[in-house]
């Protein structure tokens, strides 16, 4: 598998903590959750699509009601995640997670809890199935980092 065929837009910020702070600031601009959901959809559209050969059961993230495919490359120094969903809102959630964790060291990933989720109110405004899917995504990212420590 040649992951280099996709250019990752991440990391955007220098650290996971800075990425979480930027996400908090961006979501603070929106007055209600309909605007925040639209923003999530817009973020999801920024994800590069995955090649068809990656959209297989081997790369499917279990625990999500939507179809989510995720591919990881790298080592303890730098892990890059490529992921996408068939759901617009879920793709937005993926974008946020990759913004925080993709392109970081395994140590930084493991040491950076996803505080932005509660801070921007996602925890209260996601359906149970989306919450479960987001938890599965974050667990996968953390597990991949843990394996490389």
Q: Using one digit for the tens of pLDDT, what is the confidence trace for 74-93?
A: 999 999 999 999 999 999 99
Residues 6+ apart with CB under 8 A from 35: none
Classify strands 68-75 and 78-85 as parallel, antiparallel or unpaired: antiparallel
Task: Please report the pLDDT score of residue 4 as a whole number.
Answer: 46
Instruction: Count the alpha carbons within 13 Å of 44 in the hemisphere toward its beta carbon.
Output: 18
For residues 140 and 77, give the distance between their C-alpha atoms in angstroms, rounded to a whole number.
Answer: 18
pLDDT of 116 strictly over 60: yes
Pairwise pLDDT comparison (31 vs 68), residue with the higher score: 68
Contact 69, 60 (CB under 8 A): yes
For residue 11, whether the previous peptide bond is cis, meaning omega lies within 30 degrees of 0, is yes
Identify whether the C-beta of residue 93 lies closer than 8 Å to the C-beta of residue 87. no
pTM above 0.85, yes or no: yes
**Which residue out of 23, 40, 61, 64 is catalytically annotated?**
64
- Is residue 123 scored above 90 in pLDDT? no
Tell me if 66 sits within 8 A of 137, measured CB to CB. no
- Determine what percent of the chain is predicted with pLDDT higher than 90: 85
Two structure tokens written together for 4: 């280099």
What's the pLDDT score for residue 2? Answer: 47
Q: Catalytic: 64?
A: yes
pLDDT score at 1: 46
């Amino acid at each position: 598998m040649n992951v280099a065929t996709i250019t990752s837009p991440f990391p955007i910020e220098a650290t996971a903590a800075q990425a979480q702070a930027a996400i908090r600031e961006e979501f603070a601009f929106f007055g209600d959750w309909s605007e925040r959901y639209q923003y999530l959809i817009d973020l999801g559209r920024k994800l590069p699509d995955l090649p068809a050969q990656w959209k297989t059961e081997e790369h499917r993230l279990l625990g999500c009601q939507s179809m989510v495919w995720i591919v990881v490359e790298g080592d303890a120094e730098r892990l890059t995640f490529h992921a996408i969903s068939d759901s617009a809102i879920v793709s937005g959630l993926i974008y946020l997670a990759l913004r925080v964790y993709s392109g970081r060291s395994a140590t930084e990933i493991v040491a950076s809890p996803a505080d932005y989720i509660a801070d921007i109110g996602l925890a209260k405004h996601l359906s149970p199935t989306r919450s479960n899917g987001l938890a599965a995504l974050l667990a996968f990212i953390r597990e991949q980092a843990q394996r490389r420590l």
